[in-house]
Structure 1
Amino acid sequence: MQLVNSVKAQDVAVQRALEDVPHYVNECEALIAENCNDSVHFLYADKIREKASLFLNNFRGSSLYAIKANPHPAIMNLLWHYGVRKFEMASLREIEYVVNMFPEAELYFMHPVKSRQAIRGAYALGVRTFAFDCLDELRKIEEETDHASDLSLFLRVRVDQVNAAYPLSDKFGVPVQEAPLLIQRAQQNAQKVGLTFHVGSQCMDPAAYSEALSQIANMLSSSGVSIDKLDIGGGFPVYYPGMEPGLLEGYFDTIHRALDEHGLDTLELYCEPGRALVAEAGAVAVRVEMRKGQALYMNDGTYGALFDAGVPGWTYPLELRKMDGAEVSDGALPFRLYGPTCDSCDKMEGPFELPDNIAEGDWVIFRHLGAYGYAMQTRFNGFYSETMVAIG
């Protein structure tokens, strides 16, 4: 009886987290009932539970949700329900958003370059952890927090990103060999000082983390400086066609082994999953408005939820839903896709393998788009979707 009550309490809590989101048994039911002119975002709560549990129970340190991946209130509420209490943010608006939703959340302002107003505002809202990657940014943080002594500061260092599908090394990060002087400078005022790095989005080889940790360990050993904290960033991958990473548990094992081997196991440890926490928890259904041979004109595109399909050119696990009752063909053809805006750049070359009888009015479901789908939408030309529904 106690177990039954516990299960019911969990169900009620999930329902409360999703109280503003319509719920349907399956995708076809949702598409028919919503009768939406825009694309439709699907949410699968069980996947949020699965991924939150994976990080919270298997990663040795603290997991900070990088809310840029998907800040939808239903996603945030589910993550909070399943135990996520720490959030990585890149702007003052993101900080204000999290504070308003969860006043007890732990806040980490990890963008390496921030405006003075943002630093001031963040500190006033309770942020005590900031990242920087140069002396000028460190001075800004010190000045705008009135040289506060209760700060934790993370120096962003640049590491190799050859194994990432989406490298992030060109914009931020100081070379590892230049880190010691900046660490010592930060230690003059800060309560604690750490290092942070990013191996790149969608990292396909866990050895990238161990190599980065080796570089950091060698730098610390040769310079004689010490740190209190270490943030290994994000980059944890999910499956897309042509990108088939190993299990995340294997990534954790590699990271933990490298920490132990290099004597970094006593540091306070953090990671910043975004994509890996929420990608599989979402999908986007996109309608075919016109077929011209092997070109499909869709009601969403690169200015909307399909940015990653167009700009870096990723493909996704795809499924076709025919709404006229017709059978889906076993044959397939490679298609290129065009978004709904008047901009000719709004295209996705693919090729996207889809059934050869796809036609106007059919819906294509892009799986694993819970990350950087909803979050990347613009309102260009009036094309965007605010329709989010829970499935299952």
Structure 2
Amino acid sequence: MSDSAFHYVDGVLHAEGVSAASLAQQFGTPLYVYSRDALTRTYRAYADACAGRRAVVHVAVKANSNLAVLNVFARMGAGFDIVSSGELARVLAAGGKAENTVFSGVGKSAAEMREALEAGVKCFNVESIPELHALNEVAKSLGKRAPVSLRVNPDVDAKTHPYISTGLKSNKFGVAFSDARATYREAHAMPNLDVVGIDCHIGSQITEISPYLDALDKLLDLVEQIESDGMSIRHVDVGGGLGITYDDETPPDIGDFVRALLAHIEKRGHGQREVYFEPGRSLVGNAGVLLTRVEYLKPGEEKSFAIVDAAMNDLARPAMYEAFHRIVPVVKRDAPAHTYDVVGPVCESGDWLGRDRDLAVEPGDLLAICSAGAYGFVMSSNYNTRPRAAEVMVDGERARLVRQREDVRQLFAGESILPD
């Protein structure tokens, strides 16, 4: 397994001190299972590396927005990075604070800006000149000044999947590097904006430090130019995107990653600035698994299929990115393995969770889809009118249901048919 929170005891997979088989029996499948211990350890790795430095951690809510998960981080003093007013509502409901929350995203609406300003968020990461003007007008209508940081696109290749690379010229995100200095001058001239920082996020599932250092160099060069124009940049937001091990990737250790970036900033003479980290996947990815039950084994001339009760609506990453997740038996069988494509019941050829997996399984057996804590449940849908899975948090030898399984009737409760 990818994380020590999930391990085998006498051939049975456990989440911390609880058998995964017992979780499936109690709560049903498909079932997302999270480890509080794993969440705590990854957050502390970031926080400990930031200790004694002017550096803070903002958890990227989009990676996993379950209230119990967010509450684990809030109890440890985390800040949050949001991309919608809905995520702001989740942060507040989970015990987070607006004043420790930064609002990112390329398409904030005026209503979302108003809600965030009234709540008192820490900073808006702004991504375009039109957004600057819109935020200035909303702040004016409320008699406030909005704290802003511009998200600058440094045109650095993060060497990751094109769908999760966000720092190139061809991506929709951020202000073009060549336009950034002039955009800062324009923001500074707006009476209801307070320019406080600079932001950069180059992608996700990044497994090398070098792209971050390349982006930082460009960002810090720009900071020096901006300050020569008479503005003060108080913080540098380096974003998130640090990868995890799904298969054979070897991302840097979290502490080593944080210390390397902070050392580089200090080496460049910018150690007086506060540094924001916005991790998501590296905090929650290997803190969760998706449990699923084998419904049928279907042999074929070219492929054999293990048809399970989880599907692309439960875990979209394989269908969307051709992403790899390890798939392991919950109870190990002493039997020959056969090669299967692990697929779900959704009526799409793209409904697969793993291809060419060697598994010793029988109908009724349980499988665990590993590294499912990030971009798992949050990207799930009700396609084919399938209720979304339940979510459970394991804490030592206790397991708590932290999201109930949906009921089919809930899915169309807000709909109506035409009158006669």
Task: Give the Cα separation in 1 of the matches to 2:175 and 2:338.
Answer: 46
Tell me: CA distance 1:77–1:217, structure 2 relative to 1, closer, same or farther (3 Å).
closer
Q: Is the 8 A contact 1:192 1:229 kept in 2?
A: no
Q: CA deviation at 1:44?
A: 1.0
| Structure-1 residue corresponding to 2:369 | 366
CA RMSD of aligned residues (A): 2.3
| Structure-1 residue corresponding to 2:165 | 167
| Structure-2 residue corresponding to 1:262 | 268
Task: List gaps (5 residues or longer) in structure 2.
Answer: 1-14, 397-420
Matched, 1:46 2:37: yes
* Paired positions, count: 361
1:93 to 86, 99, 109: 86
SS of alignment partner, residue 64 of structure 1: strand
Tell me: CA distance 1:251–1:100, structure 2 relative to 1, closer, same or farther (3 Å).
same
SS of alignment partner, residue 351 of structure 1: strand
Tell me: CA distance 1:300–1:32, structure 2 relative to 1, closer, same or farther (3 Å).
same
Task: Give the Cα separation in 1 of the matches to 2:220 and 2:72.
Answer: 37
- Cα deviation, 1:138-171, whole Å, max 9, x if unaligned, reads 0000001117554321111113133234312412
Q: Is the 8 A contact 1:109 1:130 kept in 2?
A: yes
**Which letter does structure 2 place at the counterpart of 1:252?**
V
Q: Is the 8 A contact 1:307 1:376 kept in 2?
A: yes
Matched, 1:310 2:319: yes
Matched, 1:117 2:94: no
- Cα deviation, 1:295-339, whole Å, max 9, x if unaligned, reads 2222112221x21122211222332024xxx7243x545432322
Q: Is the 8 A contact 1:303 1:378 kept in 2?
A: yes
Q: Is the 8 A contact 1:154 1:193 kept in 2?
A: yes
Matched, 1:78 2:72: yes
Q: CA deviation at 1:389?
A: 4.5
**Which letter does structure 1 place at the counterpart of 2:381?**
T
Task: List gaps (5 residues or longer) in structure 1.
Answer: 1-21
- Cα deviation, 1:75-106, whole Å, max 9, x if unaligned, reads 1221122332x111111111122223326442
| Structure-2 residue corresponding to 1:187 | 188
**Which letter does structure 1 place at the counterpart of 2:148?**
L
Q: CA deviation at 1:29?
A: 1.8
| Structure-1 residue corresponding to 2:415 | none
Q: CA deviation at 1:200?
A: 0.7
Task: Give the Cα separation in 1 of the matches to 2:114 and 2:223.
Answer: 31
Q: Aligned runs of 1:232-247 on 2, under 5 Å?
A: 232-247=238-253
SS of alignment partner, residue 70 of structure 2: helix
Tell me: CA distance 1:174–1:103, structure 2 relative to 1, closer, same or farther (3 Å).
closer
For normalisation by structure 2, the TM-score amounts to: 0.80
| Structure-2 residue corresponding to 1:8 | none
Task: Give the Cα separation in 2 of the matches to 1:66 and 1:376.
Answer: 14
**Which letter does structure 2 place at the counterpart of 1:312?**
Y
SS of alignment partner, residue 203 of structure 1: coil
| Structure-1 residue corresponding to 2:205 | 202
Matched, 1:296 2:291: no
- Cα deviation, 1:255-283, whole Å, max 9, x if unaligned, reads 12221222222222101111111112211
Tell me: CA distance 1:359–1:118, structure 2 relative to 1, closer, same or farther (3 Å).
same
| Structure-2 residue corresponding to 1:13 | none
Task: Give the Cα separation in 2 of the matches to 1:376 and 1:239.
Answer: 20
- Cα deviation, 1:184-213, whole Å, max 9, x if unaligned, reads 222234333311111210111111111001
- Cα deviation, 1:49-70, whole Å, max 9, x if unaligned, reads 1111111111341110111111
Task: Give the Cα separation in 1 of the matches to 2:173 and 2:65.
Answer: 23
SS of alignment partner, residue 311 of structure 1: helix
- Cα deviation, 1:225-251, whole Å, max 9, x if unaligned, reads 452221111101111113221212221
SS of alignment partner, residue 381 of structure 1: coil
Q: Is the 8 A contact 1:42 1:391 kept in 2?
A: no
For normalisation by structure 1, the TM-score amounts to: 0.85
SS of alignment partner, residue 368 of structure 1: coil
Tell me: CA distance 1:143–1:126, structure 2 relative to 1, closer, same or farther (3 Å).
same
**Which letter does structure 2 place at the counterpart of 1:353?**
R
What is the aligned-residue identity percentage? 23
Tell me: CA distance 1:135–1:250, structure 2 relative to 1, closer, same or farther (3 Å).
same
